[in-house]
A and B are shown apart, each in its own frame.
Chain A
Amino acid sequence: MILFKILWNEIKKEFSNTWSYRWQWVGEFISLSVFFFFLSMLTHKAEAGIAYCVWFYSVLIIGDISGKVALEMRTGTFEQIYLSSTSIPILFLSKAITAVFRALLIMVILILFFWFFGYVNFSFFKLNIIYVILLLTPSLFGISLFVGGLTILLKDTGWLINIINNGFLFLSGIFLPLDSFPSNFQRISLLIPTTQAIKVLNLDQIFIEDCIIMLVVNFFYFGFGILCFFVFEKKAKMKGILGHY
């Protein structure tokens, strides 16, 4: 019960605070709409648009959490989080839940928008997407914690977010099929969580083996992210730079 109250307290604050920057939501919606339209409609491949949505969902969550860490360090509220009697990963989980909600809301509005104008029909959106979102989210939380922890230590991780965003975009098989990659790139791309997600999304039938591979990859990222976060946090506390920006 206390955990639920802590999560709710943080989520409520995140929503109130994020809503005050609501033009950012509008900008994200416009950029997603434009790319979704170009990828799905002009290539006549609905899957390309859906794959792009998966990528968008991923980068929004990763960027949102690490962006919030950087913002809170600049505004000065970050140290207050560490003065709480709550576990820090739980507070980060609340930020992740808010980011998931925001990303899903933008995607649902986008789908309804295109559906209203007759550009998409709901058969595009297979049931697989629910599995994909559920399985993908823990790894995104792990990567967010990794980047968030690194942001505490290095302060500016915009360069890393760019690498992750572009890596996920070009190596996940959104634009080009994985088979067309050189073998080294194929191996790297298999380690990217969105690659597995898009692969499962494009299957007509989900096999348990695919889900297990995806589960293993995602929970590896989840555990790795938490571990790295604690290491980076400890280093920042030793250096005395937790609240610096």
Chain B
Amino acid sequence: MERVNIINVSKKFGGVSLFCRANFSFYAGEIIGLSGNNGAGKTTFIKLLCGLIYPDSGQISVNGIDIKKNRTRCMRDVGVLLEGSRSLYWRLSAMQNFIYFAGLKSVFGKGAFTRAEKALQCFDLWDVRNSKVETFSFGMKQRLSLACSVSHSPSIILLDEPTSGLDAISAKMLENYIILLANENRTIVLASHDHKMIERVSTRRLIIDNGIISDTF
């Protein structure tokens, strides 16, 4: 089942071509590992997939819908983790953050609280649910960000450096969680510097180098 379709996508920044006529399809249950050097364009690729950046040309569709034309509809199916600790309201509690971000994805009321309980327990944050995020460690913020980004049970999950700043135990926990999500037939796109983690987790690898994305199954 095709979840993401990238057709002839090109993007330039400051005259430098990051991607040139890229064509890919991502399918249900896949974990796509995205690797490349600093500045290769991993974050840009993730942002293109979720519509935060528009391509210069080409089209990206999510579950058959053009993301540029219907962002709000596409976002119901997409969960994104970007720079974890900065994606949260530090002066609100973990629970307030989760409920707010679930609301942004149209999950309200009892449903949101049930999901919050499940997610915060899963990410070992239940005991600190009423504490302000500003008191959290970097790893806790990262875990909370991930919990918030999947609060609406999306079918496509985009993760930009999810293990950044995590200790070995937390990183392992996250790896297991990613595999669990993929087993639930979700599509995961994972950008990371951690080549070993990408090799362990991904079912397919994309390497970005000098504007060329090569696909290695």
B44 part of interface (Cβ distance < 8 Å): yes
- A75 interface contact, C-beta 8 A: yes
Complex-state Cα separation, A74 to B13, whole angstroms = 22
Q: Digit string of B98-114 for contact with A (CB within 8 Å is 1, else 0)?
A: 01110111101100000
Q: In the complex, how many angstroms separate the beta carbon of B155 from the nearest chain A beta carbon? A: 13
Q: Does B216 touch A at the CB level, under 8 Å? A: no
User: A16 at the A/B interface (Cβ < 8 Å)?
Assistant: yes
Residues in chain B near residue A81, CB distance under 8 A: 104
For A5, A81, A85, which residue has the most chain B Cβ atoms within 10 angstroms? A85
Complex contacts, B56 vs chain A, CB 8 Å: 238
Closest to B148 in A: A80
B105 in contact with A80 (CB, 8 Å): no
- Asked if A242 is at the interface (CB within 8 A of a chain B CB), the reply is yes
B51 proximal to A (CB < 8 A): yes
Please give, as numbers and ranges, the residues of chain B lying within 8 Å of A76 by CB-CB distance: 83, 85-87
> Would you call A17 and B91 a contact (CB within 8 A)?
yes
Q: Give the residues in chain A near B54, CB-CB below 8 Å.
A: 234, 237-238
The reply on B89 being an interface residue by CB < 8 A is: yes
Q: How far is the CB of B142 from chain A (nearest CB, A)?
A: 13
- Residue positions of B touching A, CB distance < 8 A: 11, 13, 44, 47, 50-54, 56, 71-73, 75-76, 78, 80, 82-83, 85-92, 96, 99-101, 103-106, 108-109, 149, 152
Can you name 18 extra interface pairs (CB under 8 A) apart from A6-B106, A9-B108? A2-B106, A5-B109, A9-B99, A9-B103, A20-B91, A76-B85, A80-B104, A82-B51, A82-B71, A83-B80, A84-B104, A85-B73, A85-B104, A85-B105, A85-B106, A240-B44, A240-B52, A240-B53
